[in-house]
Amino acid sequence: MSTWMTVASLAAEGPAPRADFSDTPMWLTFVKALLLFVYLLLSTLLVIWFERRVIGRMQQRPGPNRNGPFGLLQTLADGMKSMFKEDVRPKAADALIFTLAPLLWATMAFVSFAIIPLAGDVNLFGHVTPLQVTDIPVAVLLVLAVAGVGAYGVVMAGWSSGSTYPLLGGLRATAQIISYEIAMGLALVAVFLYSGSMSTSEIVYAQRDLWYILPAVVSFVIYVITMVGETNRLPFDLAEGEGEIVGGYFTEYSSMRFAMFFLGEYVNMFTVSALATTLFLGGWQAPPGISAINDGMFNEGWWGLLWFTIKLWLFMYFFVWLRGSLPRTRYDQFMAFGWKLLIPVTLAWVVAVAFIRGAQLGFFGDDTVSIAGRAIPIATLIIVGFLAALVLGVTWIWEGRVAKKAEAAVVDVPEEIDPYAGGFPVPPLPGQRLKEPSSYPLLSGVGATTPKAPTTTTESKEDPRG
């Protein structure tokens, strides 16, 4: 309960300060955008090599190790190969939309990163400026809006190819992105309620004493699941099911057009990981033990970029680990999981957090009770008790349904079977026995009397030589 009281005390201190861009001229904003672009490109080149090396280790093979030291230049070599490959476009494709689709997909992936704070205030070319391109009061909603626009690139790619399989892949990918954006957006509402803001810099500042992964752990788990589905990564890369739809919405793409989809996928992985770092792991702030050293000296200046990058790569390793460990799920199971489980659970969690925050801020009365020396609002105890009873009730209903399904799945296996009942001999299962031979129509008389061999004479034989 101390966690809830800590969050309540932080909320009582007033709104967190937003990033100050007063000493940031326009040219410096363009420089920061360029630095961010280079940061993402280098990270993408490195993570592709990292993924192939890690999965190679998981599968007991070396992975890329020829180009450059430890194979570090393999991704660059693959990119150059894509540039010089023949660019093939189907005859039935719409030329304009076919080219715009990968550009839209990759561009939207970069735009989303503009509101992510990589560090606090830094000294850049003689100006003290936040290491962030921009920030607005509804910055997190901007990320969700840009992700929704990026979905147009997927459906445009599938439609403009002029082929059946890319069209099916585009429809599947779009349905998957839209479905999991709903649960992702709802998972972020709890963070908005705790921080009182949608600005990324304000949310990071509000976590200076307590990261939101603790009070909003349900939202964090749901967000991690949805971010894997949002980026079409294993085990949710169903838009690229080779055994079902050949290669998904980019089946007809080649050369640099295909490379743009590849680039957008990895930049999207960095974007959703950066958003998770910002909303749940304190953003660029150092871990609690390190941040307390020398009055927070490791939270100042460029140190924030180091902590932010470390947290970001922890999520990237999580993506790689999933790909090397889990098989692809079935599409209908994946969609049912999102609509029938994730969205209802997220809605219930948001309502619960709203009541808890209302009790913490005194919206339901100021009566308190002392527990272990702490003043706990009575409304909080009532709400927590109600939620516990609700969870127990849902668990009881769920277990009852599981038990009924298990009973319905039990098949009554007869102890005695007829192996020729279906026309083909079937061996018995463990615990079964065959019927007596006399009951088989085809084997009746077996073992009763043995017929004598027919008598042959020389007259009855035929000479095979004619």
H or E segment to which residue 121 belongs: strand 121-124
In degrees rounded to 5, what are phi and psi of residue 124?
-125, 110
Does 324 lie in the same domain as 303? yes
Evaluate whether 368 touches 208 at the Cβ level (below 8 Å). Answer: no
Does 287 lie in the same domain as 373? no
Write down which residue in 327, 358, 389 finishes a domain: 358
Q: Which two tokens stand for residue 187?
A: 């998972």
pTM assigned to the model: 0.75
Domain that holds residue 345: 2-358
In degrees rounded to 5, what are phi and psi of residue 417?
-125, 160
Task: Tell me, yes or no, whether 184 lies in a domain.
Answer: yes
3-state class (DSSP) for residue 434: strand
Does 136 lie in the same domain as 53? yes
Does 109 lie in the same domain as 224? yes
Instruction: Compute how many other C-beta atoms are within 10 angstroms of the C-beta atom of residue 13.
Output: 8
Task: Tell me, yes or no, whether 428 lies in a domain.
Answer: no
* Tokens 């033990």, residue located: 289
Task: Tell me, yes or no, whether 178 lies in a domain.
Answer: yes
Write out the DSSP string of 251-264: TT--HHHHHHHHHH
* Tokens 């057009």, residue located: 257
Cα 50–chain centre separation:
19
Task: Tell me, yes or no, whether 74 lies in a domain.
Answer: yes
Q: Tell me what pLDDT residue 277 has.
A: 92
Does 390 lie in the same domain as 303? no
Write down which residue in 358, 384, 418 finishes a domain: 358
Task: Tell me, yes or no, whether 430 lies in a domain.
Answer: no
Task: Tell me, yes or no, whether 459 lies in a domain.
Answer: no
Does 198 lie in the same domain as 61? yes
Task: Tell me, yes or no, whether 121 lies in a domain.
Answer: yes
Does 369 lie in the same domain as 269? no
Does 369 lie in the same domain as 354? no
Alpha helices for 196-302 (secondary structure H):
200-206, 217-230, 242-245, 255-280, 288-291
Write down which residue in 358, 383, 418 finishes a domain: 358
Does 391 lie in the same domain as 325? no
- The beta strand positions in 125-184, using DSSP E, are 127-130
Q: Are strands 121-124 and 368-371 parallel, antiparallel or unpaired?
A: unpaired
Does 394 lie in the same domain as 283? no
What's the total number of domains in the chain?
A: 2
Tens place of pLDDT per residue across the chain (466 aa): 444 444 444 444 445 577 778 888 888 889 999 999 999 989 988 999 999 899 888 888 888 888 888 888 888 888 888 888 887 888 888 888 888 888 888 888 888 888 888 888 888 888 888 888 888 888 888 888 888 888 888 888 888 888 888 888 888 888 888 888 888 888 898 888 888 888 888 898 888 888 888 888 888 999 999 988 888 888 887 777 656 656 778 888 888 888 888 888 888 889 899 999 999 988 888 888 777 776 667 778 888 889 999 999 999 999 999 888 888 888 888 888 888 888 888 888 888 888 777 766 665 555 565 555 566 666 666 666 666 777 777 777 877 777 887 777 776 666 666 666 666 677 777 666 776 655 555 544 444 444 445 554 444 445 545 4
Evaluate whether 210 touches 278 at the Cβ level (below 8 Å). Answer: no
Q: What angle do CA 53, 59, 64 make, to 5 degrees?
A: 30
Does 153 lie in the same domain as 56? yes
Does 368 lie in the same domain as 219? no
Task: Tell me, yes or no, whether 295 lies in a domain.
Answer: yes
